[in-house]
Amino acid sequence: MILIADSGSTKTNWSLIDKKNKTLYFSSIGLNPYFICSSEIKKEIRKKIIPFVEQKKINKIFFYGAGCSDNKKCNIIKKALNELFPSSSVEINSDLLGAARALFGNKPGIAGILGTGSNCCYYDGKKIKQQITSLGFILGDEGSGACMGKKIIRAYLKNELPSAIKTNLEKKIHISTVKILDSIYNKSYPNRFLASFTPFISKNIDNPFIYNIVHSSLNGYFKNQVCTIYDFKNRTFSCIGSIAYVFKEIVSKTAKENKINLHKIIKNPMQGLIYFHSKKTAF
């Protein structure tokens, strides 16, 4: 059996595939090693995954995760998985490689992620050859849910929101200055808190102020990340993630404005990863 995990900062999607390609699906919280330790990872997997799988029958585990950017961070995930699945081989990769494999398989292209966070790379069909440093939600993550949330919250706190939007925001989400600052500076996962405003943004996208938040965020993503890829105008760009999917029309428009050859947008990489590993992996 093969166990595949696609972990963002908010949610992890899991798939268990048997020899007959029968697939079971599970989900857990996001397991980003920048925000969670090995013991917490084990606790979450014991709660959400272990009760539904036969550990000894899992031969290979492929984990693709946000925050899996170097060996030190990857080892946080690997330590937890090795202890829970001692008879399985474990491969840890970045969510960006997972996106590239899901989007392009064995073909080259520029792979992008637009979810709670954002990132992009040039993939040659086997490996990531050029990766743009995202810098996270404080310094980067342009175009992400966290970026859009930060923009609307900043406008709210500085009293720059149109009155109707401000009233609606307070009514629907019950926010206050104290709650916002506490969630960002004192509580865990401030990036998730910021990204939690994207459903509100989506529902109010017809408002010019809200539309500009989305468009300017995506424009920042293309200019600061995708357009810095070598020879980007002559390469195919495809994108993955909840933000890309929800705002796909604006993504398409903004990509065209930046002379980017957009090929496709998909919500999550799991089906592409299942296909990729089912073809390549011996069970």
Q: Are the C-beta atoms of 121 and 131 separated by less than 8 Å?
A: yes
Pairing mode, strands 11-17 and 23-29: antiparallel
Question: What CATH number does the domain located at 2-99+270-280 have?
Answer: 3.30.420.40
**CA–CA distances in Å: residue 274 to residues 13, 105, 178, 217, 265:** 12, 11, 44, 31, 18
Give the residue carrying structure tokens 């590993």. Answer: 277
Tokens of 260: 């980017």
Domain ranges of the chain: 2-99+270-280
d(CA 151, CA 194): 9
Residue by residue, pLDDT tens for the chain (283 residues) are 889 999 877 789 999 887 777 888 888 988 888 888 888 999 999 898 888 877 778 889 999 988 887 889 899 999 989 998 888 899 999 989 999 999 999 999 999 999 888 999 999 999 998 888 777 767 778 899 999 999 999 999 899 999 989 988 888 777 778 888 888 888 777 888 888 899 999 999 999 999 999 999 999 999 999 999 999 999 999 999 999 999 999 999 999 999 999 999 998 899 899 988 877 654 4
**CA–CA distances in Å: residue 230 to residues 61, 132, 268:** 33, 11, 26
